[in-house]
Amino acid sequence: MIVEDPHDVTYDPPHSVTLTESTDVTMEPSSPIHKISTCIVYENCLLELFEIFQAMQLQLYKYTTFRRLARSFIKPAIVYRWKTMQDATLEQLSQQQNVILGGDMRADSPGHSAKYGSYTMVDLRNNMIIDLQLVKSNEVGGSYHMEMEGLKRSLALLEERGVTLDSIVTDRHPQIQTFLKETRIKHYYDVWHTEKVLGLSKKLVLISKNKDCDILKKWLQSIKNHMYWTAASSTSGPERVAKWTSILNHIRDVHTHEDPAFPQCLHAPRTSRDKSKWLKAGTEAFCKLEKALTNKRILKDVEKMSPHHQTSSLEAFHRVILRFAPKWSFLFLECCADSTLLPCTSMKMLGVPKQHHQLVSCYTE
């Protein structure tokens, strides 16, 4: 078998083949662009990657090379893909009425010392991401104001694109409460955020550890379930408050209530096998529970809990972003933009199941 010398200028193969750096029969990335893309997809932990290569005495592109190639090739592709998807989504929403949105901020580090934050807006009816705003803390005078700025930018974009809002579901951020009240946009609180910020479950657990309050342990999960049921089964603020406070009668085995917004429990009459679980009015356990469930702050927040849509899908999306931009790693603004937009291009539908609540009973045993 005669093998022609490829360096022989007189050699003329029957079929012209151009070899490039990207040709790889192993189907593994070999070009710089492929390698850079792989680094972005897999958690964007370049500093760790550099340390590993240095420990193994292997050569790797410099960080400046990585950013130059990413800025020239990868970022334009990510931005183009995201803008194309966003334009199509906003065009659809502009033709609809009463759009229900959810919004939340994700910071680049835990606590109140974040440098960058990304505010995500999602269409809660269709579970679709419609906008993402990257905010720098020194632009707004501190990390506390980043969430407010992100919301303003998103609302300005939606107004420009002709999207008509019905309501917005967010957490209990004080600045957002004031702003949406002034702009007369209907504002609801996410139930999970409300329960978390109020710390109701933790407070009740502490109360139940007292000597004469041990009976409350039988009701902890029921009270938590009751909060979700209250939000999901009500159509107005007064009805939510009436249903929420009705639990104080129910735990005493009293199922008719004085508030006309919710005159009686919806469950069928039943005889409990465990009669020791019922509380008695005037006892220390009941008084402490009543004080915890009916303080002004809780009643005010219960009145504004979201009746149908929650932001659990948005929380799930933020957990996906952690794979691209971990909170414990420092990223420059440009890197944050790439790492935050990238999951948006691959998650048009968040795919998070909608929450289902039991709507036939005012409590769950």
Alpha-carbon gap, residue 111 to 69, rounded angstroms = 33
The mean pLDDT value for 264-275 works out to: 82
Kindly report, residue by residue over 200-254, the tens digit of the pLDDT: 889 999 999 998 899 999 999 999 999 999 999 999 999 999 999 999 999 999 9
> For 23, how many CA atoms within 13 A lie in the half-sphere containing its CB?
4
Show Cβ contacts of residue 265 under 8 Å, excluding neighbours closer than 6 positions. Answer: 246, 250, 255, 256, 257, 361, 362, 363
Position 187 pLDDT exceeds 80: yes
Q: Which domains, ranges and CATH numbers included, belong to the chain? A: 85-189+309-346 (3.30.420), 195-303 (no CATH)
Taking 80 as the threshold, does the pLDDT of residue 99 lie above it? yes
* Prediction pTM value: 0.76
The structure tokens 């409460």 sit at 177
Candidates 194, 202, 234; CA nearest to 220 is 202
| Cα dist from 30 to 20, 37, 315, whole Å | 10, 11, 36
